[in-house]
Every structure is written in C-alpha cells, then in structure tokens.
C-alpha cells in the first residue's frame, strides 16, 4: 500500500460553500488542533494521565462528517475522539476537565480521554476496545428503526478496526436489518505501528462493503469540504433509505499513535509529505485564494480559539475532585431514576 | 396451573412483549425455529419479525446491538443460545454493558436482559457443556440470576426488565422440561434474596440452578438417615445474598456448596470464602465444596456422570461433613 | 434468496472420469448415506446420544473435495463431519464406536459425533463452535508455510459460519500471510432454522472472498464430479501459489439440523424438490446412462456397504467403556510424551 | 547483571527464537512497533518477519492460528497485547486450546504459549484495566503463570515452552520497568511451586504478579511494628501449589490474600476456600481478602487509587488479622 498523500476525492467538494460556512469549519478544526496541542502539553506536565490519542492531522474528518448530522442523530466514536466531541459541540471545558479527571468533566472523571460522553448531544462515547463501538452503533440504529425515528447513527472507527470480526458482523447485520448507520472509517494508514498493507490483504477499504450489498465511497480526508459533501450525500441516503453506508476518509495522523509511541515505524519524510496536505492549511489556502480570509480575520480566529482553549484549561483546573466516598455510586443506576 | 419451566419462561416473554412496546427479542433461531430449546416457540407468529428477530451467527454483534438498542430507549431481551457461545460476546458484555453507566459518569444506563442456557449432563461434550456462571458473577455492573424453579423461571424476567442495568439470566438446559404447578397470577418475583427450599438443622446445602433438584433429592435421602439438611437456593449469583447464607450456617454450623461449575476459581469457592469471613467462628467444620471434576466434559455417559455432582456424591459429601456417629 | 435446486456449476464437471473412479465415488457416498441412516436409527434406539447432525444430502461435497487431497494435506471440519471423516478414510468402526462413547472410538469416547479426530490421517477434527475451526485451519497452514511444506489445509464450514467474525478475520489473515488454506463453504441454505437470506444481507457467498483479494468459485454441491473437479483446480492453485481460495458448494441437507430439530422452517415441497437432485441418484443415473453400472454391480456395492456398516456397528457394540478412574488422564499431555 | 523485567522477557524470547526453530512470535505490533510495551523491540530486525509476525487486529483468529500452528508442529508464542483484548480470543482458548487434547482422546496436544499484559494502576480506565487471571485459572486444560520477579520473567517462558500443553502467562504492565540484578546464566525455572518471598511468623500474606511489590513493602512496614509477615508468591495460578500455602499457614495460623482482581468470584476466594478445606483447624482467625473494589476501574487518580489494594490498606488488613495488643 503506497502512502502517497495525493488522492482523487471519490466525491467532489461541496460546490460553493459560503465563505462564512468555510470559516466555521476552519474555526472547528482550529479548535480541535489547538485544544489537542494544549492537551499534549498538559500531558507532558502530568496534568493529564493515562492514554492520550491525538487527532491532529485528521480534523477534517470529524469536522466534515458531523456537519451532516442533526441534533437528533447519534455518534459513536473511538478512544481517539476529542475531535468528534468538539465538532459535536461538547464543551471544551467539560472535555478538558474530563482529561483532568475532575467532577466537572463530561464523564465526571470516570472515563478520561478515551471515554468522553455527552448524552444531551447524543454523543454515545469513546470506545477503547477496537471494533467495540460498531455493534453499539448498530443497536442505536435498531432502536431508531423500531421506534420509527428517522435518525442516523454515525459510527467512527479506524482502518485497524476493519480487521476485527465485529466490522464484518456489524456491516452484515446493519444491511440485513436495513438499519440507518453511517459507518465512517478513518483510514489514517496505520493501526498503531502496523501499516494498512500489513494488516489488510486487500487495502481498498471502500470495497469491503461490497459483499454485504452496502454502498460505499472514499473521500480525501484532508479536504474538509470534500468530507462534508460526501458525508451529506451519505447521511442523506442512509436517512432516506434506512440502509447503512460505508464512507472511507483517507487521512493521516501527524502525531504518534499515543503519548507512549516512539513512532519508529514510519519515516519523517512520509509524515512531512502528509503535512503538506494539512487540512487546516488546505482550507486556509482556499479561503485566502478567495480573498475571504484577510490576515486580521485569521488572527482574530486564532485569538478566539486560544481564548476558548485557555478557558477550557481554566475550567479544568478549577474543577473539584470526585469524592472517593462516592466511588461505588455509579456502578449501578440509582433506583430513583 | 400445570406447566413447564420452558412454558413459564415463554409466558414471561409473551407477557413482556404484550405489556411493554419497548421490549423485543433477538437471538439465533428465536423466530422461525422457535428457539433452540423451543422457549420462544410461537412468539414470531404472535408478535411478528420486528419484535422477534432471528439474528445471524454473530454473537458479539447482536449482543452489542442489544446494548445499543437499550441505550436507544428499548428493553431488549437477547437470547444467546447457550453460555458456550457467549464467550464470543464477552467483550461486549464486560467492556460495554457492564461499564457504560460508570464510564459515562452516570449519564447512560443499559437496561438489557441477556438469557442463556447453561450446563452439562446431556452428553454434549466439552464445547457444549460449560457452566461459566462464576465468570459473569465476577463482573461489577451486571446482575446475574439463576432461576431454578417454575416461579423464578416465570418471575425473574419481568423483574429483570424493571431494572435499569444489564441482567444475565442463566437457564439450565436440563430444567426446560421440568413440570409443576404455577399460580395463574404468577409474575414478577423479588431478586435480592436467596431462598430456603428446604429447612434443616444439621447442615446447610447451598446451590443454584440445575443442581437444586439433585440437592433436594439428596436432602430427602439424608432425611431417611435422620440427617436434617437445609437447602439454600442462591437465585441471585451477583450480588450474593450473603445475609441469608450466613444466617442459615450460623444455625446449622456446617455447610456444603454444590456447584456444577469446576471447583477451582468457581462460585463455590466464593461462597466458602464469604462464610470464612462472616461465619468462621460459627462453623463446626470446614465448608465443603462439591463441584464438577476438573476436566473438559467428556461425551461418554459414564465419564460425564462421573465428572458431575450426583445425588449419591452429594449425600456422601453431606455425611462426611457431620460428626461420625 | 431462492432455494431453487438448479444451478449452473461454476466449474465444469471432470471430463472423462473413468467409470471405476465414479464407482469409487459412489461407494464413498453410499457408505456415508448408509452409515448415517444407521446412526439415526441407533440414536432413536438410545445407543448414540448427545447431538447428532446428519450429512445426508450433502455427501457429494466431502466426497468430491477430499479427492483433491494427498495424505499430507490436513482437514478441519465441523460438528457435521461424519462424511468428511469417512471420505478421508477414518475407519467406520472407529467413528461408530466414538458415537457409542467407547474406548475404541476415534476419540476414545471423549468427543462423540461432533468431535471426531484421526491424527494419522491429518483429520484435525470436528469443531462444534460455529466458525471456531477456521482460525485453527489458518494456523495449520501457517505451520506448513513456516516449515516450507507444500501442503493444503482444507477447512469445511457452513453458510451460517460466514456470518461469524472469524470468517472475515481468517480470510484476511490467510490472504495477508499467503497461507495454503482451501476454505470450503457447505452452503446448504440454512443455519439451523435460519435461511441464508435471513442471515446474509447479500447471499452470494463466493463474492464474500473479493474484499480480501481471495479467489473463489461456486459449484453444484449435488454433483460429485463437479465438486471434485472444482476442488482439484482449487487445491492445485492453493498448493502452487500458497494462497487461500474459497469454494462454495451449493447443497442441501435432507434431514433436520439435528435430531432435536422439528424442522418447521422449510416446506416439504422444498425438501422434495432438492431430493430430486440427490447426489447419489445423480451419479448413479450418470453411470447407468453410460451403461457402467449394471443392476448386479449396484446390488454388490450396496451389499458391500451394508456389510461395512454392520461391521462398524458390531465394532462399536463390542467396544469397552473407558474406565472412570482414567477420567483425568487426558486433561494434560503425559510428560512421558 | 543489571536488567529490567521487560529486558528479561525479551531475553527469554530471543533465547527461544535462537534455540528452537519451531518457535515464532505472533501478535499485534510485536514487530515494527516493537511491542506495545517494547518487550519484543529489536526482535523483528534480528529474526525477520516470518518469525516475528505482526498480526492484524483479529485476536480470535491469530490466537486460533497459534493453536493450529501448535498442532502443526510449531511452538508459537502469541502475544495478546493486554488481557482486556483477550476477551475476544476466549472462545479459541477455552473451547479449542484447553479441550483439544482431551476431546481427541489424547491424539492432539497444543504446545502454545500466550503472553499478555494485565492489571490496573495507570489511569487507563474501565476497558483497559482488567485483571482477569481468575477466569483463566478456572479452566482445566491450560496452565496459568504470573511472573512477579526478574527470575520468573526470564525463566517462566522457556519452562512454558517445554510443556506440551497451552500456557497463559500474565505480565503485570506495571512490572515492565522494574529494575534489578539477574544472574548472567538465568534461564528456565520450575513452575510448580509457590515461592516464599519473605519469611515470617505472625501471618502469611498470599499474592502474585503486580501485587507482590506492594505486599513486600507492607511486610517491611509491618516489621517496624514487630509484626512478622511471611510473603508467598503464588507464581502458578493454575494449578495452585496448595501444599506450600497450607504449610505456611499451618505455621503462621493467619492468612491475608491480596489480589488486584475484584473480590467476588476472584482468585483470592479460591485461596481462602482451599485454606478452609485444608487448614481450617490450624487457623486462629478467618482468612482475609484484600482485593480491588467492585467497580469498573475509574480514570481519576484518586478514585483508581482508592479502588486498588495499596500498601497502607494491606498493612491495615494485616494488623486487623492479628490479636489486639
Ligand atoms: C481489540 C483491541 N485490540 C488491541 C487494542 C490496542 N490498540 C489500541 S488502538 C490500536 C490501533 C487501532 O488502529 P485503528 O483502528 O486504525 O485506529 P487509529 O488508532 O489509527 O485511529 C490498537 C492495536 C485495542 N484497544 N483493542
Ligand atoms: C458460535 C455458535 N453459535 C451458535 C451455535 C449453535 N448452532 C450449532 S449449528 C448452528 C447452525 C450452523 O449453520 P451452518 O454454519 O450453515 O452449518 P450447517 O449446520 O448448516 O451445516 C448453530 C446456530 C454454535 N454451535 N456455535
Ligand atoms: Mg488507523
Ligand atoms: Mg448451513
């Protein structure tokens, strides 16, 4: 499998997305980028612990896909889910506080970086067993089918998850039962240190949908407008036909797999080549060429995002610790409820 | 009315489907086939394919789909044909069903009921004769039930469906044909307490599920030797009703735990350890365990019989617990 | 999915199989048929216990496929494996004794009908967890690759097993690592009571190989000559290229799933329609039309087979019971070995 | 020589690859990445991709492939990255690896070694912090080992590779960085006996794996209070070396079992039950268990710390076992 960074987007970019909309997308991607840069810093400072998987380089995927969702739609993600959470509107402060393990975290400090939840936004969380989220997404869609709700459940997972049996079982079940699941494979070409070509006998992921009679498409995951339009088409058909769809977004992670990863399995050159297609740079370039992003506008955007990240950190720092006495409270649902 | 364990479970399923639109059944061959043990026979015809769903052979995914459907507001009843196949679904049960309420800081709940047949004794050999209740009983976040009577076969399911969290119900395959009388208005039962199935003075025999019948038969035989055995049915394997266990053993001062699971690392050991902690000074003899011999269950009848607890071996183990006379 | 009993064999029947060879095939299929008819009888008589899954109607699949194997090749089968065992040459007496649970059984009474083993014939057994044999077959082939042995491992499984994650994982791994596994799907159109179309979103099983870059073919599983030639071609390429291949044999079981199955999920008509294509009748017809099977020859064949089945039963009846004292001997391999 | 637990395991792997052509490694990221815990770092470069095989994320299948390769005459060493992911491979381990020798009437043997990291304590939250050794210890047909020292990290693997049957080795993730001295000629160790890691008179503290260090630290602290605690390292979790346990407790007459697993249905209960059966009349106090609190392991440090056994809680539990003075 070549890791050449140029793709022909299988789905053409959204025609004439307004400058305002493109700036919204840039704001979201910038927020994810700065939020995670800060998180990495805080991890080194020992404020954040456990596993931390950064999404840097892949921001266009979550940002573009989630454009296609309504508040009624549901999201199931992985342990690499800060981007999905932020793009869905989970407050940055609640996410940062969660990574601090504080009571004001979005999972009350129980979950940490890998297990962000926000039920009010139908953000059904980060799943840290690879492939483990797919059946849950199928079930959420089954509930919608049984209740005749025209909702879409989006399920994010990586290329590595495609090797798990649950990928196969979930595509078959979703297709067999005509369930509205949008499966989004974030193909960043590596499962930890294992390159796509060393874990898939046939590396074209979009083709994996064929034997189930599931439609699929591939999209340039570095081009947020391409991702958005592919996701809109996909979500539209999933909602209309109550059938699953597999969308492969070809992307790349600029950082190591996790903070523990020495990143010895790929070359600097490969990483640098991909950074030329940094989704933020691509979108910024497009806006600038349209004359839609004057320097001061961009600077303002940067300031705005920095302020939000700083506020998120402040919120996390100010958060209380959950009392040890209440430790056993959340094992079972209180009868009250 | 006269009924069977199988019909009692079916009545509970039908009742749940009738009274709660959020309830649906899902599992391999629960529909057209009527259930591997004929438990759901007729329900597809009565409730249709949307609510009685035949699943492909994809245990991990249809159990996981049950979790997702529960998150989505439904009350799924998932049948995993037997505990032997549930090994393929353990990741979903242990890492998702049992953890989501906690990991989400209390935002999510998973009101999922999983039923499965368990146990040996029908010459099905090593891959089809497991009793892994103890594995499930080890996991915080789920409840584990083992109906051993018609009342519990009928009543544990509706009670489980009222709980907001995952419940795993183990039905011993040898019980489905058990006949008996059941009150016409039989319904939900309480789930927290172990039951004294026979009162006695000389020792307490603690068991559950498919072994209850053997233990009661042994108690009857012991009675002929003037040995008065109390028989306790755990009913709930997680949490254990320790108070009832301890109260009984405090009276009888002797205990025998009978479990079809393998001894090492099994549920009988847990019961023994709990009695060690809470009834040590009341014991006149060490708590004894009678479990299945530690080998993969063999096909040949004489070998399987020799491996499993039997009435004779239960009687012998009980006698051995008592002072020589 | 239509269960119409006529197929165009994807692979054409072996040209000019000699009459002698065809009669050998008929002998094997007849042996399987009569052996299982007797087993069913003995089950009703309580001589055989536990689960008993009959292969009646599917004899052409095991018989044809195993023609393609050398004694060095390996076989992994399911709980419905009497046919494979007999076709591989496991003595009928040892199989019958196993079903009796006797010491002279091929698994010394430990396994019963679902777990027949014969290591001298590289018959690696019946696996009763659906899908559970596939990874084992992949591993046997991996050992051959690592030892540079040009052997084939044939793995039999049903259409229902295709839904299990292990099918997906095993095809990917065998293709990725270039392992010589011949995957044979015995598509009898039902997984217990669940018809193919109700467990597969897309019922063309041969197509399931595509996303792994694995070659595949479908064959009329009622035509033993077609199966043999398809299997020979497949085994040949697996051996030559050290790559997996998926062969779908379209067949049908004439009996219930197991002796417990009331068989309520399919119509008498459907079963009768399939019986018109009984593999024994088809081959007999072909031989007769060639004038190669005079009535007395057939009668002699029937007598020969009946004698072998009777001898097998006698052997089983004469078998000793394993002593209960030795029960724990076979949990671990004795240090001696 | 000075070394670490990680390097000791690596040395054992390298040695096995060098000395036995039938040995190969297989698992996720054991090659290019160098192992999730860097245990196999450098081995791909040294032995090549045929013998150090990066597997796709397909736990059930690469573990099953290990079983098949063992049947085919190899000596596979399969790394399942962590016990958390091994749930996906349990069917292969329990229904195939553990049963094939028996089900085949002794014809087949499965000389397979499966290594996996286990344990909590690094703020990895509920799905990445399991300690399910007790589940494996329940299964006849497999051996279960827990190296807690450099000698055992170095020696248990070669010894396991000499066995003709499946062996599961649990390496507590917190031990990989442990430093110490190891004899240059360190190699295979015997596997059957528990080890007395510290001698004592007043009570026996029984533990294994990642908890050994905490228990030794607690014993040192207890010594300052003139409490003499014997520390026993189980080493083999299946089978258990009951004789050594019983001999120690007969002397000290008191026992505390420390286990990072959850208490209910865990290994500590098994140890307590065995002592109930074989040392009841020698006990001056009930055997006590100190285990992990019964909840999915939380991420927040103070919550995780509170959930796990700690030196202070071990010391307190030991004190509570002794007569007030
Ligand atoms: C079942 C399982 N096996 C192994 C792991 C360890 N692990 C965590 S992430 C990962 C790689 C996953 O790669 P991919 O699915 O491509 O997602 P990415 O990290 O690239 O976003 C692995 C092997 C796990 N969490 N779950
Ligand atoms: C993992 C698993 N789930 C369920 C079962 C129960 N079961 C035994 S056979 C069978 C149907 C298998 O169908 P198929 O693979 O088509 O094989 P066939 O019986 O038709 O030959 C089922 C569901 C099992 N043995 N293993
Ligand atoms: Mg990836
Ligand atoms: Mg079938």
Q: If you average pLDDT over residues B42-56, what whole number do you get?
A: 98
**Spatial separation of the C-alpha atoms in residues A322 and A110, rounded to whole Å:** 9
Q: How far is the CA of D115 from the centre of ligand 1 (A)?
A: 18
Contact D71, D97 (CB under 8 A): no
- Which residue of A77, A160, A254, A261 sits with most ligand 1 atoms within 8 Å of its CB, as the best mutation to test the pocket? A160
**Which residues of D lie closer than 8 Å to A, measured between beta carbons?**
28-29, 31-34, 36, 38, 54-58, 60-61, 84-85, 88, 122-128, 293-296, 298-303, 306-307
What is the C-alpha to C-alpha distance for residues B229 and B206, in angstroms, rounded to an integer? 10
**Residues of B numbered 59-118 whose beta carbons fall under 8 angstroms of chain D's beta carbons: which are they?**
60, 84, 87-88, 90-91, 94-95, 98-99, 102-103
Atom number of ligand 1 nearest to Cα A132: 1
- Rounded to an integer, the average pLDDT of A76-83 is 98
In chain D, the percentage of residues whose pLDDT exceeds 70 is 100
**pLDDT for A335:** 80
Mean pLDDT of D118-127: 98
Q: Is pLDDT of C11 > 90?
A: no
Average pLDDT of C331-337?
A: 82
Cα of A1 vs centre of ligand 1, distance in Å, is 19
* Confidence band of D58 (pLDDT split at 50, 70, 90): very high
pLDDT of residue A49 exceeding 80 = yes
Q: How confident is the model at residue A15 (pLDDT cuts 50, 70, 90)?
A: low
- Percent of chain B exceeding pLDDT 90 equals 99
Flag whether pLDDT at C115 surpasses 50.
Answer: yes
Helix (H) or strand (E) holding A299: helix A295-318
Instruction: State both tokens at A10.
Output: 């299988």
Residue C8 scores a pLDDT above 60: no
Report the percentage of chain A scoring pLDDT > 90. 93
pLDDT in tens, A168-210: 999 999 999 999 999 999 999 999 999 999 999 999 999 999 9
Active site residues of D: 59, 128
Which tens digits make up the pLDDT trace of D204-228? 999 999 999 999 999 999 999 999 9
Q: State whether C165 and D64 contact (CB < 8 Å).
A: no
What mean pLDDT is reported for chain A?
A: 95
Within chain C, where are the H helices?
19-44, 59-66, 82-88, 92-100, 133-146, 165-176, 196-199, 224-241, 268-275, 279-289, 295-318
Residue among D58, D82, D85 whose CB has most ligand 1 atoms within 8 A, to mutate: D85
Query: Which residue's CA lies nearest to atom 22 of ligand 1?
Result: A192
| Closest Cβ opposite residue A101 in set D84, D88, D301 | D301
Confidence label for B274 from pLDDT (cuts 50, 70 and 90): very high
User: pLDDT tens, D99-117?
Assistant: 999 999 999 999 999 999 9
In short, whether C105's Cβ falls inside 6 Å of ligand 2 is: no
Atom of ligand 2 nearest to the CA of C253: 20
Residue of C nearest to B87 (CA): C129
Q: What does the pLDDT average to over C229-238? A: 98
Beta bridge partners of D198: D231
Question: Is the Cβ–Cβ distance between D62 and C173 less than 8 Å?
Answer: yes
Residue C66: is its pLDDT beyond 60?
A: yes
Mutate which: D49, D57, D90, D123, vs A, most A CBs within 10 A: D57
pLDDT of residue A319: 98
Distances (CA, A) of C312 to A2, B147, C46, C47, C51: 59, 43, 17, 13, 20
Residue nearest to atom 12 of ligand 2 (CA): C191
Mean pLDDT of C102-110: 98
Q: How many CB pairs under 8 A join A and C?
A: 66
pLDDT of A10: 38
Q: Is the pLDDT score of C10 beyond 50? A: no
- Cα within 13 Å of Cα(B319), Cβ side: 15
Binning pLDDT at 50, 70 and 90, where does residue A8 land? very low
Is the pLDDT reported for residue B265 higher than 50? Answer: yes
* Ligand 1 lined by A327 (C-beta under 6 Å): no
Query: Band of the pLDDT at D324, cuts 50, 70, 90?
Result: confident
A118 touches chain B (CB under 8 A): yes
The one catalytic residue among B7, B59, B133, B230: B59
| Substitution candidate for ligand 2 out of C76, C192, C257 with most atoms within 8 A of CB | C192
Q: What is the pLDDT of residues B200-247, one digit of tens each?
A: 999 999 999 999 999 999 999 999 999 999 999 999 999 999 999 999
**Each residue of D188-203: pLDDT tens digit?**
999 999 999 999 999 9
Q: Which of ligand 1's atoms lies nearest the C-alpha of A162?
A: 15
Q: Which atom of ligand 1 is nearest to the CA of D88?
A: 1
pLDDT on residue A17: 85
Nearest CA to ligand 1 atom 20: A191
Predicted ipTM?
A: 0.97
C-alpha–C-alpha distance, residues D190 and B220, integer Å = 48
Residue among C83, C82, C81 nearest C64 (CA): C83
- Burial class of residue B19 (count of CB atoms within 10 Å of its CB; 0-12, 13-18, 19+): exposed
B50-105 pLDDT, tens digit each: 999 999 999 999 999 999 999 999 999 999 999 999 999 999 999 999 999 999 99
> Nearest CA to CA, how far is A181 from chain C (Å)?
15
Ligand 2 centre from C81 Cα, in Å? Answer: 13
* pLDDT higher than 90, residue D233: yes
Q: What do you get for the CA distance between the two ends of chain D, in Å? A: 45
Q: Can you tell me the mean pLDDT for A51-73?
A: 98
Contact B298 C327 (CB under 8 A): yes
Quick check: C50 and C128 in contact, CB under 8 A?
Answer: no
Which residues of chain D have a CB within 8 Å of the CB of C117?
103-105, 107-108
Answer whether 0.90 is exceeded by the pTM: yes
Inter-chain residue contact D294 with A328, CB threshold 8 Å: yes
Contacts of D298 in chain A (CB under 8 A): 109-110, 327
Any idea which residue has 């081959």 for tokens?
Answer: C283
Contacts of residue D210, Cβ cutoff 8 Å, sequence gap at least 6: D118, D119, D121, D148, D172, D173, D174, D175, D260
Q: Is any ligand 2 atom within 6 A of the Cβ of residue B79?
A: no
- Mutation site, B206, B262, B265, B266, interface D, largest D CB count within 10 A: B265
Chain B environment of A151 (Cβ under 8 Å): none
Residue C6 above 50 pLDDT? no
Inform me whether the pLDDT recorded for A3 exceeds 80: no
**Is it the case that residue B19 has pLDDT exceeding 60?**
yes
* Structure-block tokens of residue A249: 């977004």
How many contacts (CB atoms, under 8 Å) link B and D? 153
Put simply, the answer to whether D265 touches B262 (Cβ < 8 Å) is no
Instruction: State yes or no: pLDDT of C7 exceeds 60.
Output: no
Average pLDDT of the residues in A293-305? 97
Provide the pLDDT for residue A6: 33
Token pair for residue B114? 């999983």
Which whole number is the average pLDDT over D9-32?
98
Q: Is the pLDDT of residue A151 over 70?
A: yes
Peptide bond into A33 cis (omega under 30): no
- Asked whether the beta carbons of residue C136 and residue D62 sit closer than 8 angstroms, the reply is no
- Provide the pLDDT for residue C15: 54
- Whether C211 sits inside 8 A of A207 (CB atoms) is yes
Chain A positions touching D296 (Cβ under 8 A) are 110, 331
Give yes or no for residue C167 CB within 6 A of ligand 2: no
Band of residue C3 on the pLDDT scale cut at 50, 70, 90: very low
Residues A110 and A100 sit within 8 Å (Cβ to Cβ): no
**Confidence class for position B324, pLDDT limits 50, 70, 90:** confident
To the nearest whole angstrom, how far is the Cα of A188 from the nearest Cα of chain B?
25
Query: Once rounded to an integer, what is the mean pLDDT over residues D287-306?
Result: 98
Q: Is the pLDDT of residue A98 over 60?
A: yes
Q: Name the residue with the closest Cα to ligand 1, atom 17.
A: A158
Q: How far apart are CA D319 and CA C285, in angstroms?
A: 87
* Among D56, D80, D81, residue to substitute to test ligand 1 (most atoms within 8 Å of Cβ): D81
pLDDT (0 to 100) of residue C335: 80
* SS3 state at D190: coil
For ligand 1, say whether the CB of A192 is within 6 Å of any of its atoms: yes
pLDDT value at position C249?
98
Average pLDDT of span C167-185:
98
Using the Cβ of B141 and the Cβ atoms of chain D, whether some distance falls under 8 Å is answered with yes
Please name the member of B95, B96, B107 whose beta carbon is closest to the beta carbon of A119: B107
Give yes or no for residue C261 CB within 6 A of ligand 2.
Answer: no
pLDDT of residue A336: 63
Q: What pLDDT, in 10s, does the model give residues B7-17? A: 999 999 999 99
pLDDT: which is higher, D30 or A15: D30
Residues, beta carbon < 5 Å, ion ligand 4: C 158-159, 188, 190
């Amino acid at each position: 499998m070549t890791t050449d960074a140029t793709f022909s987007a299988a789905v053409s970019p959204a025609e004439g997305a307004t400058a305002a909309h493109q700036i919204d997308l840039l704001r979201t991607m910038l927020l994810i980028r700065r939020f995670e840069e800060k998180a990495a810093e805080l991890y080194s400072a020992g404020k954040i612990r456990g596993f931390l998987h950064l999404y840097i380089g892949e921001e266009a995927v979550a940002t573009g896909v989630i454009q296609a969702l309504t508040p009624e739609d549901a999201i199931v993600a992985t342990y690499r889910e800060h981007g999905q959470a932020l793009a869905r509107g989970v407050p940055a402060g609640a996410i940062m506080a969660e990574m601090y393990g504080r009571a004001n975290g979005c999972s009350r400090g129980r979950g940490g970086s890998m297990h962000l939840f926000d039920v009010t936004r139908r953000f059904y969380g980060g799943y840290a067993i690879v492939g483990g989220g797919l059946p849950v997404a199928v079930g959420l869609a089954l509930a919608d089918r049984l209740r005749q709700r025209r909702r879409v459940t989006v399920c994010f997972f990586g290329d590595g998850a495609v090797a798990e049996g649950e990928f196969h079982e979930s595509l078959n079940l979703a297709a067999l039962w005509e369930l509205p699941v949008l499966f989004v494979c974030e193909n960043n070409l590596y499962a930890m240190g294992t390159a796509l070509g060393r874990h898939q006998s046939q590396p074209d992921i979009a083709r994996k949908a064929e034997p189930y009679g599931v439609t699929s498409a591939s999209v340039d995951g570095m081009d947020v407008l391409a991702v958005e339009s592919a996701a809109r088409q996909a979500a539209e058909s999933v909602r209309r036909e109550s059938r699953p769809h597999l969308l492969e977004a070809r992307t790349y992670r600029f950082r190591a797999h996790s903070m523990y990863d020495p990143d010895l399995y790929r070359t600097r050159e490969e990483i640098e080549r991909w950074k030329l297609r940094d989704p933020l740079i691509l979108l910024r370039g497009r806006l600038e060429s349209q004359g839609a992003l004057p320097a001061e506008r961009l600077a303002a955007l940067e300031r705005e995002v920095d302020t939000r990240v700083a506020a998120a950190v402040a919120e996390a720092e100010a958060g209380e610790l959950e009392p040890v006495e209440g430790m056993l409270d959340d094992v079972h649902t209180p009868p009250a409820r | 009315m006269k009924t069977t364990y199988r019909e009692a479970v079916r009545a509970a399923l039908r009742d749940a489907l009738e009274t709660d639109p959020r309830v649906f059944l899902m599992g391999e061959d629960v529909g057209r086939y009527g259930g591997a043990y004929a438990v759901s026979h007729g329900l597809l015809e009565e409730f249709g394919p949307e609510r009685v769903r035949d699943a492909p052979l994809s245990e991990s995914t249809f159990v996981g789909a049950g979790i997702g459907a529960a998150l989505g507001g439904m009350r799924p009843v998932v049948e995993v044909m037997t505990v032997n196949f549930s090994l393929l679904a353990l990741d979903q049960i242990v890492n998702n069903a049992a953890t989501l309420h906690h990991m989400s800081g209390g935002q999510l709940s998973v009101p999922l009921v999983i039923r499965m047949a368990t146990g040996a004794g029908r010459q099905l050999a090593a891959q089809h004769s497991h009793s892994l209740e103890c594995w499930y009983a080890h996991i915080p976040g789920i409840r584990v039930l083992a109906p051993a009577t018609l009342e519990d076969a009928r009543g544990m399911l509706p009670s489980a469906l009222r709980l907001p969290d995952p419940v795993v119900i183990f039905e011993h395959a040898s019980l489905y044909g058990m006949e008996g009388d059941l009150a016409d208005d039989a319904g939900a039962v309480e789930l927290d307490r172990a039951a004294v199935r026979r009162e006695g003075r000389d020792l307490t025999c603690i068991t559950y599920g498919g072994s209850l019948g053997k233990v009661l038969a042994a108690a009857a035989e012991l009675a002929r030797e003037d040995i008065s055995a109390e028989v306790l049915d755990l009913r709930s394997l997680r949490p254990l009703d320790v108070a009832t266990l301890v109260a009984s053993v405090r009276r009888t001062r002797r205990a025998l735990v009978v479990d079809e699971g393998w001894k090492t690392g099994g549920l009988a050991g847990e019961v023994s350890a709990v009695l060690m902690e809470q009834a040590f000074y009341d014991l006149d003899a060490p708590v004894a365990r009678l479990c299945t011999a530690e080998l993969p269950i063999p096909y040949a009848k004489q070998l399987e019989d020799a491996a499993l607890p039997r009435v004779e071996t239960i009687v012998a183990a009980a006698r051995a617990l008592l002072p020589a006379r």
